[in-house]
Chains A and B, each alone.
Chain A
Amino acid sequence: MLRLDYQYNMQLSFAKPVNRHHFTLRCFPADNERQKITYQDINITPSYVGGEETDSFGNHCIYGLIEGEHTDFNVNVSGKAYVYGDVFLPVEPSHRIGMFRYHTGLTDMGPSLYEIYEKLPYKDDIRNDVQKVALQWMNIIYDSIKYVQGITQINTSAEEAAALSMGVCQDYAHIFLALLRHEHIPCRYVVGMMMGEGASHAWIEVSDGEKWIALDPTNNCPVDDRYINISHGRDAKDCTINQGFFYGLPEQLQEIHVVVEESSND
Chain B
Amino acid sequence: MNKEGMNSYSDTVNELLARYGVRFGIYKNGTFKEQLFPLDIIPRKIGQKEVEYLEKGLKQRVMALNEFIKDIYGEKKIIRNNVIPEEFVYMGSGYLAQCEGVCPAKEIYTHISGIDLVQAKDGQWFVLEDNLRIPSGASYPMIARDICRKSSPAIFEKNAIYENRNYAKMLRKAMDHVNVGGHTVILTPGRYNAAYFEHSYLAEHTGAHLVTGNELVVENDHLYFVDYSGRKEKVGAVYRRISDEYLDPMNFNSESVIGIPHIYDIYRKGNVSLMNAPGNGVADDKGIYYFVPEMISYYLDEEPILHNAPTYLPFYEKDMKYVIENFDDLVLKDVAEAGGYGVVFGQGMTKDEKERFISMLKKEPRRFIAQEVIDFRDIDIFEDGEKVPRKADLRAFVLMAEEPMVWKSGLTRFSRNPDSFIVNSSQGGGFKDTWVLENDLSPTIL
Residues of A at the B interface (CB closer than 8 Å) are: 22-24, 49-51, 53, 55-57, 63, 65, 95-96, 98-99, 101-102, 233-234, 238, 243, 245
Contact = CB atoms under 8 A, between A and B. Distances in A.
B265 A22 contact: no
B136 to A, nearest CB: 28
Given A53-B268, A65-B219, A102-B91, A96 B100 contact: yes
Interface in B231-281: 249-251, 254, 261-262, 265, 268-269
Contacts of A98: 76, 79, 86, 89-90
A56 B261 contact: no
A101 B85 CA distance: 13
B379 interface: no
B265 A53 contact: yes
Task: Give the one of B75, B89, B100 with max A CB within 10 A.
Answer: B100
A99 B102 CA distance: 16
A53 B269 contact: yes
B80 interface: yes
Nearest to A61: B265
B218 interface: yes
B249 to A, nearest CB: 5
B97 interface: yes
A22 B261 contact: yes
A179 B311 CA distance: 33
Task: Give the one of B219, B220, B250 with max A CB within 10 A.
Answer: B250
B101 interface: yes
Nearest to A23: B250
Interface of B: 75-76, 79-80, 86-87, 89-91, 95, 97-102, 218-221, 249-251, 254, 261-262, 265, 268-269
21 contacts: A22-B261, A24-B251, A49-B220, A51-B220, A51-B221, A56-B100, A57-B100, A63-B265, A65-B261, A95-B80, A96-B100, A98-B89, A99-B100, A101-B86, A102-B87, A233-B97, A234-B97, A238-B97, A243-B254, A245-B254, A245-B261
Given A22-B249, A101-B90, 4 more contacts: A22-B262, A24-B251, A95-B75, A234-B97
Contacts of B268: 53
A266 B217 CA distance: 46
B98 A56 contact: yes
B262 A63 contact: yes
Nearest to B73: A56
Task: Give the one of B95, B97, B218, B221 with max A CB within 10 A.
Answer: B97
A194 to B, nearest CB: 26
B72 to A, nearest CB: 10
B97 A99 contact: yes
Given A98-B90, A99-B97, A56 B80 contact: no
A95 B249 CA distance: 28
A101 B95 CA distance: 14
Nearest to A22: B261
Contact of B102 (A22, A51, A56, A102): A56
A68 B165 CA distance: 47
A86 to B, nearest CB: 29
Contacts of A56: 97-102
Contacts of A65: 218-219, 261-262
Task: Give the one of B90, B102, B251 with max A CB within 10 A.
Answer: B90
A238 B95 CA distance: 14
A91 to B, nearest CB: 14
Given A22-B262, A245-B250, A95 B76 contact: yes
Contacts of A101: 86, 90
A118 to B, nearest CB: 19
